[in-house]
Amino acid sequence: MIIVKSPREIGLIREAARVVAVALEEIREYIVPGVSTQALNDKIDEIVRREGAFPGELGYYGYPASVCASVNECILHGIPSKKKILHDGDIITLDLVAKKDGYCGDAARTYCVGICGERQKRMIAIAEECFYNAMSLVKPGVRVGDISHAIEETAKKHGCSVPREYTGHGIGRDMHEDPSIPCYGKPGTGPELREGMTICVEPMILEGKPNVRVLGDGWTVLAKDGKLTSHYENTLVVTADGCEILSKL
Ligand code: MF3
Ligand code: CO
């Protein structure tokens, strides 16, 4: 069931999303060669709690950390670890949910570690371009399939692909609410957007083939072909004539 939010609820989601935005900006200076993904997790956890929020991913279906930290061919749900050390030229995605006063905000960014090559920078730019192309369509009356299609077409234009198994989503009291917002789709299909809906649009991009595999830990999702991946996500509110990004400073 799709829930349209009241102005009061949108205010609370806005605040949770602001905490995510603050954390994803403040963490930038810590993303350097030699740091472990555990250290980034701990810093993010500290920032989120300092802002009066709680890391919403911690304990979610048993997820064991405060943020998802996914490096290079890892597209989703990388579990932070002391043993996972970042190297010059890696790319890392941090995907974070903050929960505050009962409401969630959710965003993801892919960052360069040290000095990245053109191949890495291109992947980061494509995920962002997919997001903005999709976002530019968001307004009341637009269908989810329109948004999904824009993501898929932008990825394809660059010779990239999108996963079938993981999607964007509505957000509110729960981090994942209806509707689900795939990264591929047919224009004119799916639920219609309405003013007051809060949604997460999150292009996940594969440099190569769309196939993924999940590691034995039950979480870590990798590109099967071992090529690069990237991800860009924001929490949006649908307004009378468009939308507003809530998870960006
Ligand atoms: N933050 C992710 C999303 O964008 C969900 C992570 S689920 C977790 O939807 F369990 F790994 F935390
Ligand atoms: Co999300």
Per-residue pLDDT of the chain (249 residues; tens, 9 = 90+): 988 999 999 999 999 999 999 999 999 999 999 999 999 999 999 999 999 999 999 999 999 999 999 999 999 999 999 999 999 999 999 999 999 999 999 999 999 999 999 999 999 999 999 999 999 999 999 999 999 999 999 999 999 999 999 999 999 999 999 999 999 999 999 999 999 999 999 999 999 999 999 999 999 999 999 999 999 999 999 999 999 999 999
Cα 214 to averaged position of ligand 1 atoms, centre (Å): 14
DSSP letter at 196?
Answer: T
Q: 29: buried, middle or exposed (CB in 10 Å: 19+, 13-18, 0-12)?
A: exposed
The one-letter amino acid at 179: P
pTM above 0.95, yes or no: yes
Angle between helices 118-135 and 144-157 (to 10 degrees): 160
Cα 95 to averaged position of ligand 1 atoms, centre (Å): 7
Bridge partners of 76, per DSSP, are 221
The alpha carbon dihedral of 116, 118, 154, 227 has a sign of: negative
Cα 89 to averaged position of ligand 1 atoms, centre (Å): 25
Q: How many helices (H) and strands (E) does the chain have?
A: 4, 14
Whose CA is closest to atom 11 on ligand 1?
77
Ligand 1 atom nearest the C-alpha of 60 is 10
Cα 201 to averaged position of ligand 2 atoms, centre (Å): 7
**Distance, C-alpha 218 to centroid of its chain:** 19
Ligand 1 atom nearest the C-alpha of 77 is 11
Go through the chain and tell me how many residues it has. 249
Ligand 1 atom nearest the C-alpha of 95 is 1
CA distances from 144 to 76, 192, 225, 247 (A): 22, 6, 29, 20
* Ligand 1 site-directed mutation target among 19, 24, 45, 68, most atoms within 8 Å of CB: 68
Ligand of minimum distance to the alpha carbon of 166: 1
Cα 2 to averaged position of ligand 2 atoms, centre (Å): 16
The alpha carbon dihedral of 16, 19, 25, 31 has a sign of: negative
How crowded is residue 66: how many other Cβ atoms within 10 Å of its Cβ?
27
How crowded is residue 91: how many other Cβ atoms within 10 Å of its Cβ?
26
pLDDT of 64 reads 98
* Ligand 1 site-directed mutation target among 24, 41, 45, 60, most atoms within 8 Å of CB: 60
Ligand 1 proximal residues by C-beta, below 6 Å = 57, 60-61, 63, 68, 77, 95, 97, 106, 108, 202, 233
Ligand 1 atom nearest the C-alpha of 96 is 1
Which residues are placed with Cβ below 5 angstroms of ligand 2, an ion? 106, 200
CB 19 within 8 A of CB 37: no
pLDDT of 2 reads 85
